[in-house]
Structure 1
Amino acid sequence: MRIAMFYHSLISDWNNGNAHFLRGIVAELLRLGHNVNVYEPENGWSYNNLIKFHGNNPIEDFSKSFPHLKSIKYRLADFDLNVLNDMDLVIVHEWNEPQLIRMITQHRKSNTGYKLLFHDTHHRCACQPQHTQNLDISSFDGVLAFGKVLADIYLAKNWNNNVWVWHEAADTNIFKQVNDETRKSDLVWIGNWGDNERSQEIQEFLIAPSCDLKLKANVYGVRYPSKAMKMLSNAGIQYKGWLANHKVPHIFQHHRFTVHIPRRPYSQLLVGVPTIRVFEALACGIPLICAPWQDSENLFTPGKDYLMAENGSEMKKQMKKIINEPEFAAQLAEHGRKTISQRHTCAHRVTQLLSICKQLDIDINTEKKQSAKKEKINA
C-alpha cells in the first residue's frame, strides 16, 4: 500500500507519547513492504520544545537510532494536497491543526482514490466534545479509536458509523526484556507532570510511599513545576528530566519496579484505556504496580501481569511485596512480558490495520503494487 500519515511528530517524543506507537507502526509497515510517508508540521510544538531545551543532539540521536524512520515537514500555508492523489490510505491523527483536517476532508470529497481514517488517542472528545464535533468526522471513511469507551462516544454522537477499536501497543523491537542483574535502584517512574490531571495521584501513589519506604527512586519526564520538583527532592526522589523514549528499556534495566499513574480523565472518563506506558513497561519485563484504572476490555490479567493499588496504603504494601519477594516479582514480570508478546505488539496492531483496510476494499498486496510500479517505470 501507499500510505500517508499526518501526525504531530515522528521525530520528537517530548511530551508526545503518540510518537512511541507511530514509530512502531511505521517500522512494521515498512518491514512488510508498504510505502509510508509521515507528515509533520515544520514548527511543531513538541519538536520546537525538544530543540529549545535540549538542542539538536536528540534529533541527531533519533536519526542514528531510527535510520529507517523519516518524516516530511510541511507548512500549512503552502501544503500541496495533490501528494495524496496516489495514496491508497491516509491516516490523520487527532493532534493536528483543525485547518489541516478540514483541508484533507475537503480533498477527500473530490478524490475517491484513497480511504481516509481518523486516529484518536486522546481524551479530548470526552472532555471537549465540541472540538471533535467541529472536525467534520463524518467525512472520514472511518475512525481508529484507542479504546472501546472512545469508540462508543463516536458512535453515540453519530460522528461516524465506521469505528474500530485500535489500541496502542509496544514496539518490541525497542522494548525488550531487561537484565535484572544490574537493578541497583528500587523505583523508577517515567511520566510527565500532566497539567494537574494527576498531581494528587503522584503525591499519593509515588511520592508518599517512596518516602515512607526510603526507596532509591528516580523520576523522568517534563513540565514539572518547581513546586513538584521540590516535593520530589524532599521525599528523596531524584528528578532526571526528559528521557528519549528509545532509552527507556536501558533505564528499566537498573530498577526493580515501576508504577503506572493514569491521568484523571483516563481513570474516570475513558476507563479501559491504559495508555502506552503500560504496554512498554510490561514488554521490558519489569514488575509494574498500577494506581487505579479499570481494565474493562480485559487487555491484561491484574495480579498476574501487574499489581493494583487502590490507594496510597495499598501502593506501599505492593511496593514492599515486590522488594521482599524477588521470585514473585520475577514471575509477575515474566507473565506481563508474555502477555505483550502474545497480544499487544505493534505487529499485532498492523495486522489489525491491514484487516481494516480489507474491509474498506483497499488492495494491501505489496508485491502487486511494487510490480505495477516497476512496469510503469520501464514503460
Structure 2
Amino acid sequence: MKIAFYGSSLLSSYWNGAATYYRGILEQLARHGHHITFYEPDAFDRQQHRDIDPPDWARVVVYPATPDALKGVMDEAAEADVVVKASGVGVFDDELLDGVMRRGRPHALRIFWDVDAAATLDEMRADPDHAVRRALPGLDMVLTYGGGDPVVNAYRGFGAVECVPVYNALDPQSHHPVPPDPRFTADLAFLGNRLPDREARVEEFFLKPAALLPGRQFLIGGNGWDSKAMPGNVRHRGHVYTAEHNAFNCSPLAVLNVARDSMAHIGFSPATRVFEAAGAGACLITDAWEGIEMFLTPDEEVLVARDGQDVADHLAALTPERARAIGQAALARVRAEHSYELRGRQVDEILRDRSGRRAARQHQMEGA
C-alpha cells in the first residue's frame, strides 16, 4: 500500500524525540512491501541538524513551512492508500489534519498517530473545539505511542472508532553495545531535551541525586540545559546526535530515564530512550510509572526509583558487576520482546486488516 505520512521529521532528531520511533516502524513497514512517503516541514533548524540522509526505504519530502507549500503536500494525500497525520509536526498541525483527511480517496485508510497522547488528551479536555476532537468521527483509527488502557479508553470516550497503542521499541541495527567513550564517562547520565513538563522531574530525579552525591560524576545531554543552574559535579553535553547514543549509553555506570509529567501520570508509555539504553546493554534507572513490568522486570532488568533519594541510593549501592548484569538482562529482554520488527509486523497486520474492511464497506455502499 502507498502510505502518506505527515510528521515532524524522519531525518532529524533535533527537538524531535519521535524520530527514531518513526524510523524503526516505517523501515519495517517498507520491508512488508509498503511504499512510504514522509512529509516533514523545514522548521526548527531540524534540517541543519540531520542525523541521517534520506533512506532508501522511504521517499522524504521536505517542504517549506509556508501555506503554499503546505497545500502542495496536502494535495498528494489523494494518491495514497493510507493517510497518516502524526501529532506534534510543529507547524500547521490543525490545517494538516483537516486538509489531508479531506483530500484522501474514499477508500483510503485515515489514521491519526499520536506520539504524545497524554498531552493531546489534556488539550482535548480543555478545548471542545480541538482539531483532533473534530476529526475523530471521520477517522478510521487512532494509533498512539503508548498509554495502555487509560489512553485507549480516553480516546474511545472522545469518539474514536478504534485506538491501538504501538509502543516504542528497539532497532538492534541502530542501538547496540559499543566500547565506552571518554566523552560520556560518568556515574549517571541523562539524555533529554529541556521541556516544561519534564524539568521539575529532572530536578528531582537527576539534579537532586547529584547534590546528594557530590563525589560522583553526572552527565546531562540534550537541548536547552545550558542556562540551567546545576551542581558542580554535573557536565552538560548539549545536543547528542543519534549516532552518538550508543556511546552515550554504554559509557556511564548507569543511565537515567525520566518521564514527562503527563506520561508518568498515565503510565504504560516507555520513552524511546528506555529501549535505546537497554539495547546498548546499559544499566537503566527509571522513575516509577505504571506498567513498567510489561517491558522490563524491576531489580532484574531495570532499577526503579520513586524519587531522587531512591536514585541516589541505587547509585551509591551499584557496582560495575551488578550494573553489567542488569544491562545484559535488559538487552536480552528487549531484543526478544520489544523490537521494531515486532512493532512493524503489528502495524502491517492492522493496516491490511482495516484497509480490507474499509474497502468492503465502500464496495457495499457503492452497490447499494
Give the CA deviation at 1:5.
0.8
Per the alignment, do residues 297 and 332 of structure 1 end up closer, same or farther by CA in structure 2, a change over 3 Å counting? closer
Any conservation in 2 of the 1:5–1:91 contact (CA below 8 Å)? yes
Any conservation in 2 of the 1:258–1:289 contact (CA below 8 Å)? yes
More deviation, 14-23/197-206: 197-206
Taking the aligned partners of 2:77 and 2:193, their CA distance within structure 1 comes to: 35
Give the CA deviation at 1:297.
7.1
Task: Give unmatched runs, 5+ long, in structure 2.
Answer: 358-368
Task: Specify the SS of the correspondent of 1:255.
Answer: coil
Task: Specify the SS of the correspondent of 1:95.
Answer: coil
Taking the aligned partners of 1:266 and 1:361, their CA distance within structure 2 comes to: 31
Please give the residue correspondences for 1:156-195 in structure 2 after superposition, counting only pairs within 5 Å.
156-158=157-159, 160-179=160-179, 184-195=185-196
Per the alignment, do residues 313 and 335 of structure 1 end up closer, same or farther by CA in structure 2, a change over 3 Å counting? same
Any conservation in 2 of the 1:292–1:310 contact (CA below 8 Å)? yes
Please give the residue correspondences for 1:1-379 in structure 2 after superposition, counting only pairs within 5 Å.
1-41=1-41, 43-45=42-44, 48=45, 50=46, 56=48, 58-59=49-50, 62-63=52-53, 71-74=60-63, 75-77=66-68, 78-79=71-72, 81-96=74-89, 97-108=93-104, 111-122=105-116, 123-129=118-124, 130=127, 131=130, 133-145=132-144, 146-148=146-148, 149-158=150-159, 160-179=160-179, 184-195=185-196, 197-213=197-213, 214-224=215-225, 226=227, 228=228, 230-231=229-230, 234-268=231-265, 270-295=266-291, 298-322=294-318, 325-362=319-356
Taking the aligned partners of 1:33 and 1:6, their CA distance within structure 2 comes to: 19
Give the CA deviation at 1:355.
1.2
Any conservation in 1 of the 2:217–2:233 contact (CA below 8 Å)? yes
For 1:352, the aligned partner's letter is Q
Q: How high is the sequence identity, in percent, across the aligned residues?
A: 21
Any conservation in 2 of the 1:21–1:171 contact (CA below 8 Å)? no
After TM superposition, the score normalised by the length of structure 2 is 0.85
Taking the aligned partners of 2:53 and 2:267, their CA distance within structure 1 comes to: 36
Taking the aligned partners of 1:315 and 1:33, their CA distance within structure 2 comes to: 45
Residue 363 of structure 2 corresponds to none
Describe the superposition over 1:92-128 as per-residue Cα deviations: whole angstroms up to 9, x where unpaired: 10124101110112123xx223211110111223321
Describe the superposition over 1:302-340 as per-residue Cα deviations: whole angstroms up to 9, x where unpaired: 222200111222111111222xx3222222111111121
Per the alignment, do residues 88 and 258 of structure 1 end up closer, same or farther by CA in structure 2, a change over 3 Å counting? same
Give the CA deviation at 1:184.
4.3
Give the CA deviation at 1:136.
1.1
Q: How many pairs are equivalent?
A: 341
For 1:136, the aligned partner's letter is A
Task: Specify the SS of the correspondent of 2:79.
Answer: coil
Task: Give unmatched runs, 5+ long, in structure 1.
Answer: 364-379
Describe the superposition over 1:166-221 as per-residue Cα deviations: whole angstroms up to 9, x where unpaired: 112222221112346978432211011111x2333222221222243322221111
Any conservation in 2 of the 1:189–1:260 contact (CA below 8 Å)? yes
Give the CA deviation at 1:132.
5.1
Task: Specify the SS of the correspondent of 2:88.
Answer: coil
Any conservation in 1 of the 2:5–2:37 contact (CA below 8 Å)? yes
Any conservation in 1 of the 2:85–2:96 contact (CA below 8 Å)? no
